[in-house]
Structure 1
Amino acid sequence: MEHKIYTPEDFKEGQILLFDKPLGWTSFQLVNKVRWLIRKSCHIKKIKVGHAGTLDPLASGLLLICTGKFTKKIEELQGQVKEYTGTFTLGATTPSYDMETEVNETFETEHISEEDIIGATFEFIGVIDQVPPVFSALKKDGKRMYEYARNGEAIEIPSRKVEITEFEITEVRFPEVDFRVVCSKGTYIRSLANDFGKTLGTGAYLSSLRRTKIGGFLVEDALDVTGFENLLP
């Protein structure tokens, strides 16, 4: 994909910028960095910059960042179908359903065949009820879920309807299982990992995640921070 040099006017009028968020960064950190780079290179005091759909620090991949008048498109972009690839690790669980927290329980996996793993994906195709992870940024009574979780407070989280249109296993390297998922807004892949383990009669947690697509936007067309800096005036 060809990228052009941006002008200050471009950012004010509005841009949808495609970024490949690095591992370890929060979505908020990347937005802040982009805002700072635009202000510095374009000598703009104030510019609206926001992202369309949070990506966890432990995930990499496509993050859409909107500037100027295009920040009004954020809600519409957040509603688009998303594609992820990643890895589940079978035989164990963590409280956060990913690698943010340590393994808290281990399970037998001897009973599971590759056919079982592939067959389990069909349980999740379509509209399903999913319970978000307790370690999430969702709010309850004005407080984020992960704040309750870190304080060791028990909290009931209601399930929500999400839709998974595609779910395929791309490789099995026991105990690791690589997958590709196409899903609706609001789907937690960490919760999918946890539920997938339960379906197989074992435990599972998310050990890697990459967002590859949002609607028609592809991660192959995304920039890293250095690539973006090279397009600034």
Structure 2
Amino acid sequence: MTERENLLKTTTFPEFNFAEGELLLINKPYKWTSFDVVGKIRNSLKPLKLKVGHAGTLDPLATGLLIICTGKLTKQIDSFQAEEKEYTGTMVLGATTPSFDMETAVDQEFPLEGITEEDIYAATAPFKGDIQQYPPAHSAVKVNGERLYVKARRGEETELRLRNVTVSAFEITRIELPEIDFRIVCSKGTYIRSLVSDFGRQLNNGAYLSKLTRTRSGSFQLENAYEVAELVAHLRSKKEVPTAPEI
């Protein structure tokens, strides 16, 4: 049995109507960009010429729930994007990187002696509720029409602006230094990398993000998401792709 046949055997798909509009829950793979996922799905829908977009960008090194909209449903992307998000992840305490994650190499290291579990739990308090944070220099935020990560990769420094965000929950779920696992529930626009970096400074230390998974967006759960390979295999297995309705 081929890999595609195996995928189709284990996954149940509804009858899609992509032209009218479908909301697809996708588990974004590690090192894929959100646009990579959109492109893969758009290509699998050829010869239909449909709008396909995503609601809420995930960094390439993050995994988890990505909402994809097709056809007429792309008009609702902003409303889906505005919903509350939930993440689980791992940070590394005792070091920093310029990108606040593993995209760039460690640039500073700090001793961990003297930091207790009580200190770590207590350090979450300033990051709950309505807070302000700077976006990472290596981020997709646009300044004067250009992404910050493009400027950062050229070695340019850019004045960053504070953003107002809301963190409804920040829980420490495992401590095995230098690693700390966490769960965060937050508003649209919250940068978990920035929060992790600020958390390290709160402990008079350093921290960077080593793993991140989006587990929820609004009422949509990661456990209900398709794997990209499974969905694409299903779409490409269809003998006939329905054409868009006449306007």
- Give the TM-score range, shorter chain: over 0.9
Deviations 1:116-144 (A, max 9, x none): 11111111100001000000111111111
Determine the structure 1 residue equivalent to 2:21: 14
Sequence identity (%): 54
Determine the structure 1 residue equivalent to 2:4: none
Determine the structure 2 residue equivalent to 1:216: 219
Counterpart residue type for residue 138 of structure 1: V
CA distance in 2, matches of 1:161, 1:5: 40
Contact 1:126/1:165 (8 A) holds in 2: yes
Alignment of 1:28-177 (within 5 A): 28-39=35-46, 43-44=47-48, 46-177=49-180
Unaligned runs of 5+ in 2: 1-10, 239-247
Q: Cα 1:80–1:3, aligned 2, differ >3 Å: closer, same or farther? A: farther
Quote the offset at 1:91 in angstroms: 0.4
Contact 2:174/2:180 (8 A) holds in 1: yes
CA-atom RMSD in angstroms: 1.2
Contact 1:120/1:196 (8 A) holds in 2: yes
Rg (Cα) greater in structure: 2
Which stretch has the larger CA shift, 181-190 or 144-153? 144-153
Contact 1:5/1:231 (8 A) holds in 2: no
Quote the offset at 1:224 in angstroms: 0.5
Contact 2:40/2:232 (8 A) holds in 1: no
Secondary structure, counterpart of 2:152 in structure 1: helix
Secondary structure, counterpart of 1:83 in structure 2: strand
Of residues 179, 201, 207, the one that matches 1:198 is 201
Q: What is the total number of aligned residue pairs between the two structures?
A: 226
Contact 1:136/1:145 (8 A) holds in 2: yes
Counterpart residue type for residue 51 of structure 2: K
Counterpart residue type for residue 110 of structure 2: F
CA distance in 1, matches of 2:14, 2:214: 26
* Correspondence 1:179 to 2:186: no
Quote the offset at 1:231 in angstroms: 4.1
Quote the offset at 1:152 in angstroms: 1.3
Counterpart residue type for residue 118 of structure 1: Y
